[in-house]
Amino acid sequence: MKTTLEKPDIIETKSKSLYDFKIASPDGTNSDILSKYQGKVTLVFNCAAGCGNVPQHSVLKELDELYRNEPDFNLQAIVVDDFTCHGYEEFNDGLEAYGERKNLNLTPGQIAESYVREHYGVEYPFSELVNGRFDKHDYDPQWTPGGQYEQEPHPFWLHITGADALPRNELNLPHHYEESPWAETKQKEDRSKPGFSPIKGNFEKFLIDRTGKRFFRYTSSFLLGQRDKNGEVFPWWDDDAADNDGPWPTPMQRAGIDYSLDSISEDIDRFLSE
């Protein structure tokens, strides 16, 4: 079994600090939750409530506890509602609709926060609901990402993905680097012109340095125990030995989780030392 992971080796750089973008708390009482991270290292990730990637909260909780005594490192969940919730149909109409059906007197951000605190016992902070994409990510085999303008993403997501630096077409869309793995007809990313890679699932992670202008990016499946930072299956992964029918995490997934935590911890420590 390979005992090292491919770690992020490209630090992306932005002209504006990501800590300068204003995002509110779930209850709206604080209109600027990111400014307190100025001068610190922060792992930001997008999430909703239930989804196929939601077990990662238990791993992020481990990471949070690992750095509990490090005041210059924080985790911050930013709530989005732009993905079909595979395996959690009750959330497929969105957090607001879920709250209305359950007669919850909560904002969408509070619904996501309370659901995760109840089921995973995490303590890191959440945000209000913001738009993360130009469209809603769909498992429909007819869906083409970047094909229609449904909403304007929050400026934070526009800047961190680089979409704000691109021209827009007649549909008010910048060029997307994205394909749907569920497409009826095989799609291929068009890399012939400048574009951006949008957030493609819940739990895309961005490790932001003290300046707010440099970061590592990790795929949405990273920390589930089977895939590396780019979403590629670990080279030592053995489907025949994985016992994927057992409860998560299986022993092989646990091994992948441990290696992933070691890997991301190295990157955190690197930024903390700068």
pLDDT in tens, 7-43: 557 899 999 999 999 999 999 999 999 999 999 999 9
Average pLDDT rounded to a whole number, residues 59-78: 98
Q: Looking at residue 4, what is its pLDDT?
A: 46
Phi/psi of residue 126, nearest 5 degrees: -115, 175
19, two tokens = 């800590």
Fold designation for 12-132+199-273: Glutaredoxin (3.40.30)
Q: Name the more confident of 6 and 93.
A: 93
User: What percentage of the chain exceeds 90 in pLDDT?
Assistant: 80
Residue 98 pLDDT grade (very low, low, confident, very high; cuts 50, 70, 90): very high
Residue 3: the pLDDT is 41
Length, in residues, of the chain? 274
Q: Are the CB atoms for 189 and 178 separated by under 8 Å?
A: yes
Q: pLDDT digit string (tens) for 192-223? A: 999 999 999 999 999 999 999 999 999 999 99
Tokens at 97, concatenated: 């609709």
Domain boundaries of the chain, sorted by first residue? 12-132+199-273
Residue 2 has pLDDT above 80, yes or no: no
Residue pLDDT, tens place only, 137-157: 888 898 999 999 999 999 999
Residue-wise pLDDT for 219-264, tens only, equals: 999 999 999 998 999 998 888 877 777 788 999 999 999 999 999 9
Q: How far apart are alpha carbons 270 and 259 in whole angstroms?
A: 17
Joined together, the tokens standing for residue 85 give: 């919730």
Q: Which residue has the tokens 């800047």?
A: 159
Burial of 66 from C-beta contacts in 10 A (0-12 / 13-18 / 19+): middle
